Amino acid sequence: MRLTEYDADVAAPASEWLALDEAERVLLVEAYHRRLGIDHPQLKLHATLHTVVENQVAAREPEVLDAFARLQREGLTRHEAVHAIGLAVVEQMVEVFKSRTVAGSPPVMPYGERVRQLTAEVWRRSGDRAEEQLTAPGSDTD
Ligand SMILES: [Zn+2]
C-alpha cells in the first residue's frame, strides 16, 4: 500500500511512511493542514517538523514513542503531541546551534532526555509556536 493521505491524528503504518521520500512526506503533511483549513504562516517549515517527528515514530525511537503515549495520556491529541515533540526538536536545534556559536554555552541536553522531560503543560505554555524559534533565533516568544 502506498500512503496517499496523512492524518496527524492517526498513526500511519511505519512501512508506508518510510516508503515515501522526504519531499513526499512533507507534501502530504502540508495537504493535511490545508484540508483541515489550518492556515499556518510557515506551512512548509511546520510540515517539515511534523515529518521529522513522524520519522522518529516510524523508526520506533523509544523516548519518542514513550512521549507520544505520555502526552496523549496528559490530554493532547496525537496532532498536538506531534507539535509538542516538534518543540523539543526545535529547542534541540537552537541549543546545538547556540553551543557552537556562543562562547561559554552550557552543554546541550541530549535529545532523548529533552523528550523525556516534555509534558503537555510545557508544550501548552510554549504557545505552540516552535517554528518561531527557528525563524527568529535569539528572540524569546514570551
Ligand atoms: Zn500540525
Q: Are 65 and 57 in contact (CB under 8 A)?
A: yes
Ligand 1 centroid distance, CA of 19 (Å): 21
Ligand 1 centroid distance, CA of 46 (Å): 6
Instruction: Find all residues with CB under 8 Å of 120, minimum gap 6, and list them.
Output: 71, 74, 75, 76, 80, 84
Ligand 1 centroid distance, CA of 22 (Å): 17
> pLDDT by residue for the chain (142 residues), tens digit each?
889 999 999 999 999 999 999 999 999 999 999 999 988 889 999 999 999 999 999 999 999 999 999 999 999 999 999 999 999 999 999 999 999 999 998 899 999 999 999 999 999 998 887 888 777 655 444 4
Which of 82, 52, 24 is CA-nearest to residue 5?
24
Which of 98, 133, 77, 106 is CA-nearest to residue 68?
77
Ligand 1 centroid distance, CA of 106 (Å): 31
C-alpha 38/C-alpha 80 separation (Å) is: 13
Ligand 1 centroid distance, CA of 130 (Å): 11
Rounded to a whole number, what is the distance in angstroms from the first to the last CA of the chain?
A: 44
